[in-house]
Chain A
């Protein structure tokens, strides 16, 4: 449907002003800037409290050239529904309605209203930028914080539970389009948002979003850390289109090359994983290997089909 967007074909119009209030090296800055390019001017955005609230600026100065509605933490998706209701009642057509929330606002406090909107089939895009914790309040654990990560409220033992798989939860609602992205692959993100907008119903995009102060790495390495998550196979880029799943972009290439980087490279690049022992890292390596073995088998099967 789409030809792949390149740095040469990416729209030049900026909808995020430079000099916003995000931290140095914040990958949300990349994702938001590119994401808004994909959404275009004819968009209304809903934002719950999160790092994005800060990025967007303090009254009366705003960093976003889009109408933006700040809402309570739990209500992003319901507010998006309300906007759609008003636009329909007032016969305003062709306006994208987008909820853009952090991982807490999506996987934890925002999940109920998001699930309700999915079940109703309301026609908006929901974007979760996943920096894997409550970064805006000082790096506390969230539902999507990964196993073993040190946070402000898992300060000694690290998080003892696995990351909540929000895209899978969203997919269980049988919404028409679910995709995972990484801020480290902005063109892939751009194309997926563009594609998402072509579907009717709730569309869900999950963006892995490295956070230098929260994850413990030098701000200049945000893209590098984001890429390592994908290249080690810890975080897959994929899309689910009307229940059909496929790996995409860099993850698809990894599958084809059958070559993952060791997960240790990712964990050792961030101080939040400082307490992970070599054994724990090895355990996570095994889990990644098992998961990717399945992908390789799918590939083998499809190769055989092609050969037939």
Chain B
């Protein structure tokens, strides 16, 4: 069924179709319409789930950690400082290997306060052991939520579904709502290998030691080090899992096929502009304009940011002369995180092919600073024409200093 609604409602419909059983949330702009909609579904009897209006984001994820440990499909959503207030719990959820799904409605981080969009909130949670998926439009939001549960429950790693505050969360777009019975067949009820049960007592997340240790029957158990190694192994393996899940989704619903990156007019492109979320679609207009002028440029978005699809990224950028990364986040004191990751992915690839494209990094849109198409056009055109000789420095678009 087609619908014209906001990105937050698309997310809420995805959660409803996923039949989340426990939902805990604390209000923060611009996430609120998503969780309000879920509370409405539940109060109206359209959705069977426990909605828990907690007193903080820290507790929102605490609820989900416990409910997931007790075998329930669990959901929360937040933005910006709410996400940061969860930080301890974010690590805890992945360390405990719980298949929680959380929508992050991307917003800039204080101080000073800003309520508008950038990617600093979720980017700063890059190293927490969560899978991070970024949606570019409303259809991708609703689809990503459903796929996220399938992925999380297969690899037992929590998933963040990130999308731009306001630009996607509060704008209205048409999207298709997956059929309920098809969604049910795509995503069967969650069946944990173990969940808290008085009939089968276990002490979860207990104190571990630096080294391995035998249990009372003499069987070797993992130490902290092994547990962390397995998380990394499973994160890497989750790329294969996502590819399979995305392919299955495409078979059932007819959409998908780009689980890692989305490329636009890159086949013969000499230059590729990279962005995340709605910005990547914004860049497509600019790519079209420059193509009309005869500049061989394409666009690419990163759909899966953690685990970082290094092979897919390197493959997609193979043979181009220059890469221009536009970012709404910054690792202060260095550069944009996506730029660093792309350079890292290219390093190994470039060594094999004795090929090193130039990489330029633009910072833009922090705290909701308007991203003007003309500015994108100018920056990308300049980069394509002078890129190889441009100094390796961070560039800011729209700065009024």
Q: Residues of A at under 8 Å CB distance from B?
A: 41-44, 46, 53-54, 56-62, 64-72, 74-75, 77-83, 85-90, 95, 112-113, 115-116, 119-120
Q: Which of A64, A82, A88 is within 8 Å of B64, CB to CB? A: A82
B198 close to A (CB within 8 Å): yes
Known: A44-B196, A89-B50. A57 touches B67 (CB 8 A): no
- Shortest A164–chain B CB gap in Å is 19
Q: How far is the CA of A104 from the CA of B82 in the complex (A)?
A: 24
Say yes or no: B66 contacts A58, CB within 8 Å. no
User: A69 to B209, Cβ gap below 8 A?
Assistant: no
Residue in A56, A67, A112 whose CB lies within 8 Å of B196: A67
Q: Decide: A68 near B201, CB < 8 A? Known: A75-B62, A85-B22, A112-B55.
A: yes
Q: Cβ of A120 and Cβ of B52 under 8 Å apart?
A: yes
B54 within 8 A of A: yes
Within 8 A of A (CB), among B40-82: 48-50, 52-56, 58-60, 62-72, 74
Residues of chain B within 8 A (CB-CB) of A112 are 55-56, 59
A113 near B198 (CB under 8 angstroms)? no
Interface centre among A68, A81, A88, A89 (most CB of B within 10 A): A89
Given A85-B50, A86-B66, A86-B70, A75–B58 Cβ distance below 8 Å? Answer: yes
- A58 x B207 contact (CB < 8 A): yes
Instruction: Knowing that A62-B206, A72-B88 touch, tell me 7 more A-B residue pairs with CB under 8 angstroms.
Output: A68-B206, A79-B65, A82-B52, A82-B74, A89-B72, A113-B54, A115-B55
- Asked if B383 lies at the interface with its beta carbon under 8 angstroms from chain A, I say no
Set of chain A residues within 8 Å of B68, measured between Cβ atoms: 82, 86
Which residue from B70, B198, B203, B213 sits with its C-beta under 8 Å from A70? B203
- Chain B residues with Cβ under 8 A from A61's Cβ? 213, 215-216
Chain B residues with CB under 8 Å of A68's CB are: 201-204, 206
- Of the candidates A60, A67, A119, the one whose C-beta lies within 8 Å of that of B55 is A119
For the complex, what is the distance from the CA of A61 to the CA of B203, rounded to whole Å? 9
**B72 touching A70 by the CB < 8 A rule?**
no
Taken together as a complex, chains A and B put the C-alpha atoms of A75 and B197 apart, in Å, by: 20
Residue of A at shortest CB range from B23?
A85
The reply to whether B62 and A71 contact each other, CB–CB distance below 8 Å, is yes
| Contact between chains at A67 and B198 (CB < 8 Å) | yes
User: What are 5 contact pairs spanning A and B, CB under 8 A?
Assistant: A72-B89, A79-B65, A83-B69, A86-B22, A113-B54
Q: Is the CB of A70 within 8 A of B204?
A: yes
Q: Select one of B53, B62, B221 contacting A113, CB under 8 A.
A: B62
Q: Could you say which residues of chain B place their CB within 8 Å of the CB of A44?
A: 70, 196, 198
Which of B55, B58, B195, B203 has its CB near the most chain A CB atoms (within 10 A)? B203
Instruction: List chain B residues, Cβ under 8 A from A60.
Output: 213-215, 221
When the two chains form their complex, are residues B49 and A58 in contact, meaning their CB atoms are under 8 A apart?
no
The one of B54, B92, B221 that contacts A72, using a Cβ cutoff of 8 Å? B92
